[in-house]
Structure 1
């Protein structure tokens, strides 16, 4: 959420290293978030229950909605940089910001809810009750699947 602050955003436009840091934090935060939410990441710790992961996904909706709604309904342009750049398709900066806010708010929030619905379907379908793969199978052995270089407690 911090990168949506106009001061942080303008700093990212002004300084290349801040811009690179912004993109790095987007990438790392999203990888960690979706690894945890889907259970697809490296086995560094015990995987959370489906119910816990569903709550995690639903809990991500309000912050996303707040930023999207604020951007969609602000009476002025939040990011002044966009007042000075060429406009595509004749859309003014405020309309562009409002469209961006709506996209962040509705389709952006839907992604979290769709993922939560997939986990709910998995939970109701008995997916969580299926036995784990045997230890002799590589995919059932957390020590083999763990991220390279991570020391797992025995």
Structure 2
């Protein structure tokens, strides 16, 4: 593999995936299906964002050195606020009905996810305190996505008016569609951030253990 491909390949792959998500059929389906909306969301924050973030830290190595532990935690808090706000009934229904609101929603999802993953990958090469902050950012995001996914899955009734209005011909009931979306958030969103956080934590602990082993 050429050095240029090794350095810039991940970023190119992330951009290609982003193009597929936003130019493919999912955007249209997201207006009529909560589950499709969730696939688009998870595709952005749990798949495209980490690939793009990894690509950015490889293409621009100096980027990681500029990321502080405080930034990693603030990025995780920003994603928490954005994700929960956009899943409030009024904002979610607006994004399902109005294309311009959907564009803002999806752009904010990508931005938040990219900030968290870039912070995590950037701090992974920094001091121990910075790496711990990157781990905390990913694990905190995993926890709140798991909680939101469980809320969507176990809610006794549809939470969104658009469940009835936007998909009258769906083979799933609005509640079933919502439950499927909750499962997707649990499996894809919660797991992706959990695996990322645990991987960075294992690396941090291994380095600490190696440092304690006498030469």
Structure 2 CA distance for aligned equivalents of residues 14 and 110 of structure 1: 29
Equivalent residues of 1:72, 1:97 under 8 A apart: yes
Partner of 2:64: none
Equivalent residues of 1:57, 1:112 under 8 A apart: yes
Partner of 1:151: none
Backbone CA RMSD of aligned residues: 2.8
Of 94-103 and 11-20, deviating more is: 11-20
The correspondence of residues 3-82 of structure 1 with structure 2, limited to 5 A, is 3-39=86-122, 49-82=130-163
Partner of 1:115: 196
- Secondary structure in structure 2 of the residue aligned to 1:91: coil
Residues 47 and 125 of structure 1, relative CA distance in 2, 3 Å threshold:
closer
Equivalent residues of 2:86, 2:92 under 8 A apart: yes
Equivalent residues of 1:39, 1:47 under 8 A apart: no
Q: Could you give the per-residue CA deviations for residues 1-26 of structure 1, whole angstroms, max 9, x where no partner exists?
A: 11101100112233332221111111
Structure 2 CA distance for aligned equivalents of residues 24 and 117 of structure 1: 27
Instruction: Find out whether 1:83 has 2:164 as its counterpart.
Output: yes
Give me the TM-score of the superposition, normalised by structure 1. 0.68
Structure 2 CA distance for aligned equivalents of residues 126 and 62 of structure 1: 25
In the alignment, structure 1 segments of 5+ residues that lack a partner are: 41-45, 131-154
Give me the TM-score of the superposition, normalised by structure 2. 0.51
Give 2:181's match in structure 1, choosing from 100, 105, 113: 100
Greater Cα radius of gyration, structure 1 or 2: 1
In the alignment, structure 2 segments of 5+ residues that lack a partner are: 1-83
Q: Could you give the per-residue CA deviations for residues 14-49 of structure 1, whole angstroms, max 9, x where no partner exists?
A: 333222111111111111111011218xxxxx9962
Residues 20 and 76 of structure 1, relative CA distance in 2, 3 Å threshold:
same
Aligned-pair distance for 1:54? Answer: 1.1
